[in-house]
């Protein structure tokens, strides 16, 4: 494969352009070959990839936030009662875990 050079004013030099094969950011690319995966691409592919609508927030993340907040609230209420020290800490831990799960999956998946 040969490297096809890009024009200095080519829009691929702008931020937000990604390789259509591996999603590697092509900012500063000097040829039509991805530096990450080595696949050839065309300017049209990259432009169409750049114009896609950003991902929406998944409903699962929102649905995990609500019970997570409730667990944290219930845990804080239990901590203020005489019998709820350990149980309150358990509820707060569950709540924090439920809130952190969607963000952990965002970094692990995709």
pLDDT digits (tens, 9 = 90+) for 4-36: 656 655 555 555 678 888 878 777 777 788 888
Per-residue confidence (pLDDT) for residue 40, from 0 to 100: 86
Quick one: pLDDT band at residue 79, thresholds 50, 70, 90?
confident
Quick one: pLDDT band at residue 52, thresholds 50, 70, 90?
low
pLDDT digits (tens, 9 = 90+) for 58-77: 677 777 778 888 888 888 88
Task: Read off the DSSP letter of residue 25.
Answer: B
d(CA 20, CA 41): 7
Domain ranges of the chain: 1-52, 59-108
Q: Are 103 and 91 in contact (CB under 8 A)?
A: no
Residue 67 Cα to chain centre, angstroms: 22
Specify the range with the lowest mean pLDDT, choosing from 26-30, 31-35, 47-51, 94-98: 47-51
If you average pLDDT over residues 35-42, what whole number do you get?
A: 85
Residues 6+ positions from 10 with CB-CB distance below 8 Å: 43
d(CA 84, CA 104): 29
């Amino acid at each position: 494969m040969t490297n096809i050079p890009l024009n200095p004013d080519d829009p691929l030099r702008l931020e937000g352009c990604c390789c259509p094969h591996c999603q590697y950011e092509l900012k500063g690319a000097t040829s039509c070959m991805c530096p990450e995966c080595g696949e050839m691409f065309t300017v049209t592919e990259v432009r169409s990839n750049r114009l896609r609508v950003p991902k929406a927030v998944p409903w699962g993340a929102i649905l995990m936030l609500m019970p997570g907040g409730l667990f944290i609230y219930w845990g804080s209420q239990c901590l203020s009662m005489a019998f709820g020290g350990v149980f309150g800490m358990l509820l707060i831990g569950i709540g924090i875990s439920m809130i952190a799960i969607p963000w952990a999956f965002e970094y692990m998946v995709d």
